[in-house]
Structure 1
């Protein structure tokens, strides 16, 4: 065996060791965003048993830095050296349950994607502090895989937050060329962008780790502090499914089997805007907005991998399906089948599950469309009588159209009152049906989905009461009893929301 340059030659093989600087620079292009990179670091904290994580953005112009400290188990010096080695674990290795790791690259690639200098200080219980540092500029100069054992000059104070604690780990990003670049400390706009980025990261972490941040599920909750140490700096969980909202519809959980492992799927249809407060509706939209956040949410060991979208199952994000969301729980033993990527931000369903996932998506999407179209009035409670609509959709010669329901109580009453001369009224109804401005409605709904007013939204209650009273009279005139007329009105759009007014009908003496 002999060595020629960087290549070791044997009788039957060559050891082609990658060039250190080229390899590390290439790892910077994996495709992390700042938020996905920091989420990858928190995965390590969770796997280490941390109950608290402190994430801090420090502004100092081009010398700005980010620290992430946890109170997890920490590492010995040997363990730290191994953790800092790229590819220290194979993705083929069997993982412990609840281990959030995958490729043995997360700490390094996520950090290199944003910063040219990565330092890690760690302290194990009854141990001593260990430090390791990757400096991409130093590696380029030395042309060797040199993992440094000391902090950089001037960085000691930035690692001192670990001092005085019994255990834990601190990750330090410096020379963050991808985040701040070459800017001055007094650049107010750059500082504002830096702080805005911190808020964006906070929203992302609130979503990705919401099941860890929430109390319950048999485990103590995780606490992530952003730019502070008090309760005001805690990141609050963002639940994509509005599980606690009284009008959220939750489908029964379905358990699918994938090569002996269980995959749990639960569908949700979120409340219509009319059933929520303005602040609640805005919060429920999520980091990407209502349309982007519809679809599947894939969790691996309770950690969110995919936040919305339809997993390439043939659906597009459409306005009237915005309330449809499905939770999918997969174990880490099925990573290969789901094609989990390095960033843990993409998953592809195995072929044997696609058909059933598509069927479940069809069911949830259908219910979500009903809730969206009918402003939440449909499908709220099992056993409730179907609500009467004045309009109905019809198909004629393969073309979709809309007509006024001639059997609607008020419509029928008005027609019958015309006696033998019903032609003018029926002609008017046909004119209205044939000239429904479908294209204009569709365009307005697509461009300004929240601009449409609800029925009688700006009408004084007295005006609505007048219409309800006329309907009540028409129902009584065709033989309905007082109570049956009231019940019809309670299930007639849009009067199902005016129960108090309806209950008073017929109770006043003439």
Structure 2
């Protein structure tokens, strides 16, 4: 009787090429490798990105428990563990793919050395070019100490136990460029900086505290980046909540970060994170203290906006919640289960409301309500429930232009035309797509800023304001109040010029 099934083993070369397309970038790929080191109870992880053109290499070494020959072979198998299998509550893995897919997404040759005391060093290699050349479709995992140099093999005997990964033939990152290609070398270094920022963020809770680990990149220890700035007294944490979904308990805590006036400029710059203040608002999802999602409103119908940028909310998940939260292989995406959406929306609204109040209190809206009418070029009006923006006719420069204009009717018509054609829909769309993409007024144009400052100051003086009064008005006026150092220099020049004229006048007298 013939068999009722066929054996349909996947071709090794073909499947490996497909696994390379999971979408890892270099920082997320290396973070996946660090997960394995932490699971192996490593206290130190050393990552080196070594530039040598097409011979460039990345090494990842740890001092964890290491693996025996048998354990290493199992770890090198694609799908080495079922995502449905029971795991330790502290396990950072899930799919049994991380080390392999993360590595081969960037290299065509992955070599792993491992040693679990007191055994000898075990060596295994996946070489995609070798597998493709055999044309057998076999999953040939190369082995033996002769695969590596004496220098490479000598890394682990210095430790009681541990593991080293070598990524060679970095076709995705480097390709076939020469070592003296300055553009490629610059890109290589930029990716190293991105790795540093990403690891500092993803593992910040592992890099601090009594049992902290250390991650070293190119010989330098990575310092943690805490998105919640918990070491600063000015941070306002809201009460924590515990929610339950599908049998898993979820811990949620919101943090309202301080306005920049409450902290030093250095701390404010640090708090912005790799992508800027606006991009880093929202929920931060952690799985066993490891960051998965850094700043996202999780499809809850909320946009990233300037006045909510001080709100950051921490969600702590156990790894038993992986399926309900749709954790992906790269551990870079998560989506809340439907039954939690209303609670998360409620918590987000409270946090966003708190952040908005701080921002409005300290920012421009309150200035518009209580400031000098001359301070703002644009005024905000509401008629019949609709919003309009008008140019402030009381602004000193606008008033001067209208008074000095040869054709005042044409000047007023121009102002009306500008007001009626403010591209509000386009501004809203651009802000939603790229909330940190708007430049400051006169950004990169200090010469034009200076000319505008001089024109407004001159208009104030022509209206009869004394120099000191005109200077005070300038200090509180948009957009000059965003450039205090330039205003100070400008006013110093005015003061010096006035003093020189007084001296000259007294000399004539």
Partner of 1:298: 285
Tell me whether 1:223 sits opposite 2:206 in the alignment: no
Structure 2: distance between partners of 1:273 and 1:441: 30
For the structure 1 residues 321 and 441, does the alpha-carbon distance in structure 2 shift closer, same or farther, using more than 3 Å as the test? farther
Alignment partner for residue 151 of structure 2, among 149, 157, 173? 157
Tell me whether 1:102 sits opposite 2:89 in the alignment: no
Structure 2: distance between partners of 1:438 and 1:239: 45
8 Å CA contact 1:133–1:151 kept in 2: the answer is no
Structure 1 residues 70-118: Cα deviation after superposition (integer angstroms, max 9, x where no partner): 0100011100000000001010111101100110000000001000000
Structure 2: distance between partners of 1:254 and 1:312: 21
Give the deviation of 1:189 after TM superposition. Answer: 2.6
Partner of 2:236: 249
Alignment partner for residue 137 of structure 1, among 118, 123, 129? 129
8 Å CA contact 2:122–2:145 kept in 1: the answer is no
Tell me whether 1:311 sits opposite 2:298 in the alignment: yes
Partner of 1:286: 273
Mean Cα displacement is larger for which, 246-255 or 145-154?
145-154
Partner of 2:203: 209
Give the deviation of 1:446 after TM superposition. Answer: 7.5
Give the deviation of 1:395 after TM superposition. Answer: 6.1
- TM-score of the superposed pair, with normalisation by structure 1: 0.73
Tell me whether 1:330 sits opposite 2:322 in the alignment: no
8 Å CA contact 1:268–1:364 kept in 2: the answer is yes
Alignment partner for residue 175 of structure 1, among 164, 169, 175? 169
8 Å CA contact 1:298–1:305 kept in 2: the answer is yes
Question: Which stretches in structure 2 are left out of the alignment for 5+ residues?
Answer: 372-378, 391-415, 444-448, 450-456, 458-467, 474-509
Partner of 2:331: 344
Tell me whether 1:117 sits opposite 2:117 in the alignment: no
Q: Which structure features the higher share of helix residues?
A: 2
8 Å CA contact 1:159–1:172 kept in 2: the answer is no
1:98-497 maps to which residues of 2 (within 5 A)?
Answer: 98-142=90-134, 143-150=137-144, 155-216=149-210, 220-228=211-219, 233-375=220-362, 390=370, 397-399=384-386, 447-448=438-439
8 Å CA contact 1:111–1:173 kept in 2: the answer is yes
8 Å CA contact 2:35–2:93 kept in 1: the answer is yes
8 Å CA contact 1:274–1:376 kept in 2: the answer is no
- TM-score of the superposed pair, with normalisation by structure 2: 0.73
8 Å CA contact 2:272–2:280 kept in 1: the answer is yes
Give the deviation of 1:256 after TM superposition. Answer: 0.5
Structure 2: distance between partners of 1:270 and 1:74: 41
Structure 1 residues 297-319: Cα deviation after superposition (integer angstroms, max 9, x where no partner): 00000000001111111122222
Structure 1: distance between partners of 2:142 and 2:178: 29
Structure 1: distance between partners of 2:469 and 2:64: 63
Give the deviation of 1:321 after TM superposition. Answer: 1.6
Question: Which stretches in structure 1 are left out of the alignment for 5+ residues?
Answer: 2-9, 379-385, 404-433, 454-458, 468-510
Structure 2: distance between partners of 1:73 and 1:342: 24
